Chains A and B, each alone.
Chain A
Amino acid sequence: MEPVISIKGITKTYASGLQALKNINLDIHRGEIFALLGPNGAGKTTLINIVCGIVTPSEGSVCVDGHDILNDYRLARARIGLVPQELLTAAFESVEATMNFSRGLFGKPSDPVVIERILRDLSLWDKRKAKVMTLSGGMKRRLLIAKALSHEPQIIFLDEPTAGVDVELRRDMWEMVRQLRERGVTIILTTHYIEEAEEMADRIGVINNGKIIVVEEKATLMDKLGKKQLALTLQAPLTQLPSELLNYPLELSADGYALTYTFDAQQEHSGIHELLRSLDSLGIDFKDLHSSESSLEEIFVSLVKE
């Protein structure tokens, strides 16, 4: 299937000389939730802003639904809604007025029914006559989402949508993202919280220092890179690892009661069998054992370190 967004060889060097993006190639599939995961300063916002027309790329091209973002900007931009990272809202206008403004700006005739539905979905309907500056931070965040949805785009960008957001709004937001996906909307969100990517995304792209390090289905990414650990709780403490065990990737806890064995989940041969046999022959007894998968967090840290 043709990707809904196709990013080819995008490089961005800011006027300051800082190279924020280095030869980015990325395809977004139609209808998916894509998480762009990376630490602060990685270039997430820069990439989003290029696709949305706010920042001019230094090199490369982007096609949205087959329309080049520079030559065919009207068709490309009409398909996109952007929720920016910062709380950038007008001050003196009413909620309703800014909604109508946003919809009109994107070339759509006013439609009170659509605006009402969006405002209700985001619990802003009661506030429609209120001036934007009287809204709380959480409500302003909702309003930014409402504005991005006002022209019924097929693609939504959410730039760090949960930064500084309370639990309730976060839950509402994810609920809404799922509903949007059910309607066929493609969602691209950026985050530096791994749990968020893990919880929401179908696919994850990891970006660091202006480079895309890896793009994978979430499950594949975790399988492929996930390490598993086997934790053993010993009957009697060890003062140090016996020399027979030194070539195993083992760690002994400070109190000498816990042994942790790390192995690659994707490898057929885990080595657990041999380990247990060695322990047995050394007369090391254990009373408990359990295995765990490493979280995306650890994957991420190990990727970024490379």
Chain B
Amino acid sequence: MNIYGIRAIYIYEMSRTLRTITQSIASPILSTTLYFVVFGAAIGSRMGEIDGISYGAFIIPGLLMLSLLNESISNASFGIYFPKFMGTIYEIHSAPISPMEIVIGFVGAAVSKSVILGLLILATARLFVDYEIAHPVWMVGFLLLTAVTFSLFGFIIGLWADDFQKLQVIPLMVIMPLTFLGGAFYSIDMLPEPWHTVSLFNPVVYLVSGFRWSFYGVADVNVATSLGMICFFMLICLAAITWIFKTGYRLKS
């Protein structure tokens, strides 16, 4: 196993984050904070409780998930897309490093960033809203699983994209709508039919619901189902990456 190789990629990626700290850390924290201020503090005080939780506190897990998804995807996709775009990927191809090690380096760095960001957002939220975490271990578990899964997904997008537009299109056209309709701002139990049933086809619903359960012990869908869905999606991503490296699709001629 090429530990030094994994480490080199990891350090390289993390230093990219530090270099662009405003964009990669400060800006997602700021935008999430604005949500807390607007929906939590300003509007939230006029809203009724949901499942016995104040609205300000209710939206925290969902908002955190939203940032986590976006940042995981964009970090991991950009991380692998950029060397492809610059042509510097030749060095990685010519190095004695296995596909799995390359993935660990890139995805590991993207996951680290996302988790750090998630924890920072959580700490910031505390300044505006009172919340508690009923199952901290599960909370961290969900945080990690989601970060890993969506960093893997982002990595696939970065491998697949051969121009900047393709890099943006899936996060914008697919992920954004899914997260906004994923029950971050409401409980899907509040939706009339058929929208309630339609929502059950949205994978983000399971993420948000499971994550919210780890905070407040209430969930829209069964927690085991949530966990199962994340793991299922992660396996799909892993299978796709294995296939890409095996066939060299969009990587090698």
Contact = CB atoms under 8 A, between A and B. Distances in A.
Interface of A: 14-15, 52-56, 73-78, 80, 82, 84, 86, 88-93, 97, 100-110, 147
B253 A53 contact: no
Contacts of A73: 96
A54 B15 contact: no
B12 A101 contact: yes
A54 B88 CA distance: 12
A55 B87 contact: no
Interface string B91-114: 111111110000000000000000
A69 B242 CA distance: 20
Contacts of A97: 12, 15
Contact of B94 (A82, A86, A93): A82
B5 A107 contact: yes
A47 to B, nearest CB: 14
B15 A93 contact: yes
B10 to A, nearest CB: 9
Q: Which of A54, A55, A73 has the most chain B CB atoms inside 10 A of its CB?
A: A54
Contact of B8 (A15, A56, A101): A101
A91 B87 CA distance: 11
Contacts of A53: 93-94
A108 B4 contact: yes
Best-surrounded residue of A53, A73, A88, A101 (most CB of chain B within 10 A): A101
Interface string B114-130: 00000000000000000
Contacts of B11: 100-101, 104
Nearest to A86: B87
Q: Most A CB atoms within 10 A — which of B4, B7, B83?
A: B4
Interface in B4-36: 4-5, 7-9, 11-12, 15-16, 19
Contacts of A102: 8, 91
Nearest to B87: A88
Interface residues of B, number: 27
B197 interface: no
B4 A109 contact: yes
A106 B87 contact: no
Given A89-B86, A104-B11, A105-B5, 19 more contacts: A54-B252, A56-B248, A74-B2, A76-B96, A77-B94, A77-B95, A77-B96, A86-B87, A88-B87, A88-B88, A90-B83, A90-B86, A93-B15, A100-B8, A104-B5, A105-B4, A105-B95, A106-B5, A106-B95
A110 B97 CA distance: 16
B96 A104 contact: no
Interface in B39-98: 83, 86-88, 90-98
A194 B15 CA distance: 44
Given A88-B86, A91-B86, A105 B91 contact: yes
B88 A89 contact: yes
A47 B229 CA distance: 46
Contacts of A90: 83, 86, 88
B139 to A, nearest CB: 34
B8 A55 contact: no
Contact of A104 (B8, B86, B93, B98): B8
A84 B88 CA distance: 10
Given A56-B248, A88-B86, A14 B12 contact: no
Q: Which of A53, A76, A80, A147 has the most CB of B within 10 A?
A: A53
